[in-house]
Amino acid sequence: MPPPVPPRRNTGKVWGIIGAVAGVLVVGGIASALVFGGGGGGGGGTGAASGPKYRITVPQTLAGGTYTLTKDISQQAGASVPRDGANEHGITSVGGQYTSGTVSLVMVGLYGTIDDPQTTVDHSIRGMKVDSGTQVAVPEKIFTPRGGGAPVTCGVDVRQEMGQKITLAFCVWADFRTSVNLARTDAADLTKDPRSVDLQEFADTAGKIRAEVTKPLG
């Protein structure tokens, strides 16, 4: 039988484990986005080359101070994600693990030149599911953050880790210069019903985070 959900007194330890799992999944998803290769027509290349340049940062807090940085994983992301793919070029990768109470959130972003943003989104999501231990619980769907900004793609996966089911919500977005993957889970309720996850709320949070982490380059 699978082990019981760890009690609240062990939440810190549990968060560390879950944060590491989420980090591996998200970094792997972005890495796979470049490894899979293949553009969606490559129509965005010219627009990307002529448009303004941006970078993704790893601030000390996210979502208006709701999440606090506990570990910068930019080095891990940089070592795992190739700088060039068929659809992405001159890529720099950064990331961080954040916490808010028992909730952990992993943010991994890349910036450079992206020919087709939708291809990057599709391949990033696909990359998070290549492991047989991860299953789709709520298929990804496009949401528009209520605070404004471009749509984001969000869904829910269930991950099997050490005999324990982990409910993991994610949101992904990309444009011609940047792409970010977010993954969130609650160490106090790892087996939360995936259908009960409020993805519109997470998309709203993603919109706030996008505004905080995206900065002009230079």
* pLDDT tens digits, one per residue of 3-38: 444 434 444 444 455 556 666 667 766 666 565 554
Residue type, 191: T
Strand order in the sheet with 152-161: 61-62, 67-72, 88-100, 103-114, 178-186, 164-174, 152-161, 134-143
pLDDT higher than threshold 80 for residue 2: no
pLDDT at 7: 39
Q: Which of 106, 84, 103, 97 is nearest to 33 (CA)?
A: 84
123: confidence class by pLDDT, cuts 50, 70, 90: confident
The residue extents of the domains of the chain are 8-216
In sequence order, which residues have a C-beta less than 8 Å from that of residue 100 and are 6 or more positions away? 66, 67, 68
Two tokens, residue 187: 């160490």
* pLDDT tens digits, one per residue of 32-68: 656 555 444 444 445 555 667 999 999 999 999 999 9
d(CA 167, CA 184): 9
Q: Which of 37, 182, 3 is nearest to 104 (CA)?
A: 182
**Side-chain-facing half-sphere of 159: CA atoms under 13 Å:** 26
